[in-house]
Structure 1
Amino acid sequence: MKRLLLATALFTAPMLAHAADAPKIDPANLAAHIKTLSSDAFEGRGPATAGETKTVAYIVEQMQAAGLEPGGDLKDGKRAWTQDVPLGMFEIKGPVSAHMMVGNSHIALNQGEQIAIRAAMTNVDKVSIQNAPIVFAGYGVKAPERNWDDFKGLDVKGKIVVVLINDPDFETGSGDFGGKAMTYYGRWTYKFEEAARLGAAGLLIVHETAPASYGWATVKNSNTNTMFDIVRKEPTKQHPALEGWIQRDTAVELFKAAGLDFDALKKQAHSRDFKPVELKGATFSAAYAVEPKVIISKNVVGKLTGAKRPDETVFFTGHWDHLGVGLADAKGDTIYNGAVDNATGIAAMLEMGRVFAKSPRADRTLVFLAVTAEEKGLLGSEYYAANPLYPLAKTVGVLNTDALDPAGPAKDFTISGSAKLGLLDDLIAHGKKVGRTYTPDPATEAGYFYRSDHFPFAKRGVPAISFGSGEDLVEGGVAAGKAFADAYRINAYHQPADEWNASWRLDGMTADISLIQGLGADLANSTRWPEWGEGSEFKGTRDASKAERK
């Protein structure tokens, strides 16, 4: 009771001026949505599965019940509830055979154990690599604006390139890549793309928990199941024939067999003077079948048309998908339920939609976008941003909810990354009204800014943030909040253990959602256009469309 009274005083006292009958976020509704979406019946909400069909139907049903209007594709002059998202779907069929040789030494590579090979996304039905030479290319970065080239003229055609995860600055905390905060060069997506641009036969990323920000279980579970991509005319320009991760211990064994010191070479890779190294006598071989196909997944779109400026939109986003059914964990569980990630975000969106629908209509249009295939590389949001249903130039801002913490009320909040933008200033101001403070992203080195569905909007200039629950808990402070977050990351993130737990506290999540909703309401009833801060890499793109907002 004491905790409940404290939380009530902290989060609701400033709101007493509102009408007593004003609609509010209901934790019982949140619980119902989370439990339903993360139940085994939804099979982990994998795209192109029966789980997707159930998930999309549930979200549409709940949007209708909340009083939203359909906001998706135009069909026969009317908006549907969904936006079609064509995706390439790629699945390894049968066993994966892989090994490395160094002279006469054989290094076994078992899928999911020493290595995690992704299904090839180059529209082939099999991959066969025999005795390909192996080279080490540091962090796999070519950044001319930083006078940095880890390849330095190396011809990687027909070769397997081994690289490190994150940026060259991660270990030292300072250097040409902005210190600990990850740049896009640190993301695995960039490293695969660069290998494809250079014509490599394949790329293997050495997994280390700290610079990756997650353990091997996450790597295994995320990369050994079905892969998806947007449909590409020339996929080999984005993907090498082989993409995968390798365990650090296995990489150390490989380097040692080739007469090299992994740790010494890693240290050399922190400098722009690093030169790529051939692992003499080392070769890589792999063979496996792939089934490629094109499927149509769905983004779900609801809206509330604005009363005064309906052509101006405020977006609430979140991804509905998770990993589906995959490899069994130690308990034999194969369903990756995704309760926190991201049934919580979809529950938040549905509740905000219900509250807005029961409130006086806002001046601007509110759009509620539940996207597909975030877990496969932000594909649903990328497709929407590349094929917007509502002009990006008149999209006021994007408020994304992804994996809200059910640890209880926090005194603070955060966002993913350290972007400079007016939308964050607005969120901080709303936080102050309810007694909450802003804590900058405590793990910018993890690159979370690039890992959620606001990013495809941001890179096209739309002010966008992904909200993060705070760690400074009302009960237990930062120590308790960090312990909860660490336990989730280690034991549940991208694992079957991400399931509904009856002990969760939803009063903190309710406060989080109310804060996001308050900012959305303010934006929707104003004439303001949030801007990117000076020095932001996205400001120029946004400024180029300024005339369309007059």
Structure 2
Amino acid sequence: MKPSSKRLPLAASLLALAIAAALPLAHAADAPTFDPQRLSEKVKVLSSDEFLGRGPAEEGETKTVAYLIEQMKAAGLQPGGDLKDGQRAWTQAVPLLRAQITGQPTISVNRDGKARPLAQGDDVAVRAALNGQKHVAIQDAPLVFVGYGVKAPERNWDDFKGVDLKGKVAVVLINDPDFERSDVETYKGDFGGKAMTYYGRWTYKFEEAARQGAAGLLIVHETAPASYGWATVKNSNTNTMFDVVRENPAGSHPALEGWIQYDVAADLFKQAGLDLAALKKQAQTREFKPVELKGATFTADYDVDAKVITSQNVVGRVEGRKRPDEHVVYSAHWDHLGVGQPDAKGDTIYNGAVDNATGTAALLELGRAFAEAKPRPERSLLFLAVTAEEKGLLGSEYYASSPLYPLGKTVGVINMDGFSPWGPARNFSISGSARLELLDRLIATASKWNLAFTSDTRPEAGSFFRSDHFPFAKRGVPAISYGTGNDLVDGGVEAGKKIQETYTAQRYHQPADQWEASWPFTGLARDLSILYTLGDELANSKAWPNWSEDSEFRGARDASADDRR
């Protein structure tokens, strides 16, 4: 679904062709077919109001987990979760910190003794504290603009320049310093040009604010550098928050974490005699120095209901007949945003049809196809439905940090998140621009269906860091998130672009992400034949794909080489 105009580099094209020639004799005609109607029915069920938006630790989780286990059993999978009395369960317990603001928070900026209230959800989107506090009380804290909030010694970049943020609220821009450059299309600077680095992600900015000792952090929202509108920010940050259980949560989270509308921030800067647009340009250079908003302070007061809960990853498995300790993993997140603030129509259920009932339905159908395969593959296959992706990839982060099966013997991860329910495309993509042999194999496999690879044309959105393959990737496991193509057989790139733009603006992280009877699901059915073939070829080989030589993840993979001997 992601629009693109880039072509696969020649070297990668040649490598993909070489791999295609060396792959087992699987062809498009040999792959199982997938029923669009079965996919549609599963998406319809998972995104129905009965499942209450599939929110973790809510009634929707209970219904979702029960449904997934029922479907995996019916598909012929075996349980692959936690060991209990020597037997595998269907789930992996995931302990999480659950936090929710109780009541209406009091938030204001104060200028020369006069308080200006800020409306939660309209002017700001303040998250429930994840640092362990049950009451947040910030009174007249000085505000300090610290550019993009980046401290990157390896790039000789420091937006903080030794400023003392104790007792202060930092204000930062979203994305990283290269994004706002006028020559961003051709500029390849300290942060990779247009492509977002991890320094551009909001998760990093909160983490760095905690390391700097700030009382709080406000991220200035803009649609283009964030890659989504304010509605997404509001809906994702004003509901229940989750985090993995940490030994020192204050080391990763300041007391106050939130976003502020650009116009509200610009006016605040103006009242302090500052020009936010001009400061943004200064922040694109390493000479930038922090700027205090003189005369302006920030106040917030609210209670937080925080407790540790247990959510569940759901895990099905097909055991390999020759090397059962080696695993090919398919993953998808089952959760969405649950029940939240009403939209303009009064709808409070965030159904999450595309995001990610489509990926979850695909996971179940792939599991069924592999369970029915004769003979069983030589390696094992794992079908991992993870929790709390919408809260920061927490289910996949927990699995990757506490794996049920060793990561050193995990062949690769094929993640599925947000498939198009429309007709087939002539191309496909992946999230981000990582270079790895798993992608080369996917390109070679897709070529059997005459699908072309189109690289991510929105690298500034940081999609590589936003899906469940990332916790595996950063630990060295070859991992990708498959992306539906934008060049539709019926309508071409123009139709694909229109669908993507409409979805992002009107449905993404909104109650309107609902199942439609008109969706044909024929494109997803075709794509699953490709993803099945890729996994089948890996599961019936002795290959161990790796990252490219210059990848930042290569070292972690090479460090576990002894596990694969």
Give the Å deviation of 1:101. Answer: 1.2
Q: Work out whether residues 36 and 520 of structure 2, in 8 Å CA contact, stay in contact via their aligned partners in 1.
A: no
| Residue 176 of structure 1: aligned partner | 190
Task: Say which SS state the counterpart of residue 423 (structure 1) adopts.
Answer: helix
Report matched runs for 1:320-469 at 5 Å: 320-360=334-374, 361-469=376-484
| Residue 317 of structure 2: aligned partner | 303
Task: Say which SS state the counterpart of residue 138 (structure 2) adopts.
Answer: strand
| Residue 144 of structure 1: aligned partner | 153
Give the Å deviation of 1:165. Answer: 0.1
Q: d(CA) in 2 for partners of 1:61 and 1:412? A: 34
Q: Over residues 21-52 of structure 1, what are the superposed CA-to-partner deviations in whole Å (9 max), with x where a residue is unaligned?
A: x7421111101110000000000000001100
| Residue 116 of structure 1: aligned partner | 125
| Residue 20 of structure 2: aligned partner | none
Task: Say which SS state the counterpart of residue 288 (structure 2) adopts.
Answer: coil
Distance of aligned partners of 1:17 and 1:417 in 2 relative to their CA distance in 1, 3 Å threshold: closer
Query: Paired residue for 1:206, among 185, 205, 220?
Result: 220
Query: Paired residue for 2:38, among 20, 29, 41?
Result: 29
Q: Work out whether residues 105 and 257 of structure 1, in 8 Å CA contact, stay in contact via their aligned partners in 2.
A: no
Relative contact order (C-alpha < 8 Å, sep 6+): which is higher? 2
Q: Over residues 380-410 of structure 1, what are the superposed CA-to-partner deviations in whole Å (9 max), with x where a residue is unaligned?
A: 0000000000000000000000000112110
Q: Which moved more, 1:373-382 or 1:171-180?
A: 171-180
Q: Over residues 75-129 of structure 1, what are the superposed CA-to-partner deviations in whole Å (9 max), with x where a residue is unaligned?
A: 0000000000000000000011000012145332100000000000122221010
| Residue 13 of structure 2: aligned partner | none
Give the Å deviation of 1:505. Answer: 2.2
Distance of aligned partners of 1:372 and 1:16 in 2 relative to their CA distance in 1, 3 Å threshold: closer
Q: d(CA) in 2 for partners of 1:233 and 1:420? A: 34
Distance of aligned partners of 1:23 and 1:473 in 2 relative to their CA distance in 1, 3 Å threshold: closer
Q: d(CA) in 1 for partners of 2:363 and 2:287? A: 49
| Residue 529 of structure 2: aligned partner | 514
Matched, 1:95 2:110: no
Quick one: which amino acid aligns to residue 298 of structure 2?
F
Q: d(CA) in 2 for partners of 1:15 and 1:72? A: 33
Report matched runs for 1:535-546 at 5 Å: 535-546=550-561
Q: Work out whether residues 129 and 287 of structure 1, in 8 Å CA contact, stay in contact via their aligned partners in 2.
A: yes
Matched, 1:55 2:64: yes
Give the Å deviation of 1:511. Answer: 1.2
Matched, 1:315 2:324: no
| Residue 482 of structure 1: aligned partner | 497
Q: d(CA) in 2 for partners of 1:213 and 1:429? A: 30
Q: d(CA) in 2 for partners of 1:55 and 1:167? A: 37
Q: d(CA) in 1 for partners of 2:73 and 2:387? A: 19
Q: Work out whether residues 412 and 438 of structure 1, in 8 Å CA contact, stay in contact via their aligned partners in 2.
A: yes
Task: Say which SS state the counterpart of residue 396 (structure 1) adopts.
Answer: strand
Quick one: which amino acid aligns to residue 52 of structure 1?
E
Q: Work out whether residues 347 and 511 of structure 2, in 8 Å CA contact, stay in contact via their aligned partners in 1.
A: yes
Task: Say which SS state the counterpart of residue 406 (structure 1) adopts.
Answer: coil
| Residue 90 of structure 2: aligned partner | 81
Q: d(CA) in 2 for partners of 1:240 and 1:86? A: 21
| Residue 491 of structure 1: aligned partner | 506
Query: Paired residue for 2:54, among 45, 55, 72?
Result: 45
Structure 2: give runs of 5+ residues left out of the alignment: 1-25
Q: d(CA) in 2 for partners of 1:17 and 1:92? A: 54
Query: Normalised by the size of structure 1, how large is the TM-score?
Result: 0.96
Quick one: which amino acid aligns to residue 33 of structure 1?
K
Q: Which moved more, 1:104-113 or 1:273-282?
A: 104-113
Distance of aligned partners of 1:426 and 1:280 in 2 relative to their CA distance in 1, 3 Å threshold: same
| Residue 171 of structure 2: aligned partner | 162
Quick one: which amino acid aligns to residue 123 of structure 1?
G
Matched, 1:185 2:185: no
Q: d(CA) in 1 for partners of 2:391 and 2:134? A: 20
Q: d(CA) in 2 for partners of 1:16 and 1:220? A: 44
Q: Over residues 445-503 of structure 1, what are the superposed CA-to-partner deviations in whole Å (9 max), with x where a residue is unaligned?
A: 10000000000000000000000000011111111101100100000000000000111
Give the Å deviation of 1:139. Answer: 0.2
Distance of aligned partners of 1:59 and 1:102 in 2 relative to their CA distance in 1, 3 Å threshold: same
Task: Say which SS state the counterpart of residue 157 (structure 1) adopts.
Answer: coil
Q: d(CA) in 1 for partners of 2:413 and 2:122? A: 39
Q: d(CA) in 1 for partners of 2:179 and 2:133? A: 36
Task: Say which SS state the counterpart of residue 482 (structure 1) adopts.
Answer: helix
Give the Å deviation of 1:16. Answer: 6.9
Matched-pair identity in %: 66
Task: Say which SS state the counterpart of residue 409 (structure 1) adopts.
Answer: coil
Quick one: which amino acid aligns to residue 542 of structure 1?
R
Q: Work out whether residues 183 and 447 of structure 1, in 8 Å CA contact, stay in contact via their aligned partners in 2.
A: yes
| Residue 21 of structure 2: aligned partner | none
Q: d(CA) in 1 for partners of 2:70 and 2:309? A: 23
| Residue 226 of structure 1: aligned partner | 240
Report matched runs for 1:198-277 at 5 Å: 198-277=212-291
Counting matched residue pairs gives 534
Q: Over residues 292-327 of structure 1, what are the superposed CA-to-partner deviations in whole Å (9 max), with x where a residue is unaligned?
A: 011110000000000111010000000000000000
Q: d(CA) in 2 for partners of 1:346 and 1:521? A: 19
Distance of aligned partners of 1:168 and 1:507 in 2 relative to their CA distance in 1, 3 Å threshold: same
Q: Work out whether residues 438 and 479 of structure 2, in 8 Å CA contact, stay in contact via their aligned partners in 1.
A: yes
Q: Work out whether residues 109 and 115 of structure 2, in 8 Å CA contact, stay in contact via their aligned partners in 1.
A: yes
Q: Over residues 430-458 of structure 1, what are the superposed CA-to-partner deviations in whole Å (9 max), with x where a residue is unaligned?
A: 11111100000111110000000000000
Structure 1: give runs of 5+ residues left out of the alignment: 1-13
Q: Work out whether residues 23 and 358 of structure 1, in 8 Å CA contact, stay in contact via their aligned partners in 2.
A: no
Q: d(CA) in 2 for partners of 1:286 and 1:42? A: 34
Task: Say which SS state the counterpart of residue 493 (structure 1) adopts.
Answer: coil
| Residue 286 of structure 1: aligned partner | 300
Q: Work out whether residues 28 and 449 of structure 2, in 8 Å CA contact, stay in contact via their aligned partners in 1.
A: no
Q: Work out whether residues 143 and 293 of structure 2, in 8 Å CA contact, stay in contact via their aligned partners in 1.
A: yes
| Residue 487 of structure 2: aligned partner | 472
Q: d(CA) in 1 for partners of 2:432 and 2:229? A: 21
Give the Å deviation of 1:254. Answer: 0.2
Q: d(CA) in 2 for partners of 1:458 and 1:181? A: 18
Task: Say which SS state the counterpart of residue 162 (structure 1) adopts.
Answer: strand
Q: Work out whether residues 23 and 359 of structure 1, in 8 Å CA contact, stay in contact via their aligned partners in 2.
A: no
Quick one: which amino acid aligns to residue 173 of structure 2?
L
Q: d(CA) in 2 for partners of 1:15 and 1:533? A: 27
Quick one: which amino acid aligns to residue 108 of structure 1?
P
Q: Over residues 243-270 of structure 1, what are the superposed CA-to-partner deviations in whole Å (9 max), with x where a residue is unaligned?
A: 0000000000100000001100011101
Q: Work out whether residues 98 and 285 of structure 1, in 8 Å CA contact, stay in contact via their aligned partners in 2.
A: yes
Quick one: which amino acid aligns to residue 46 of structure 2?
L
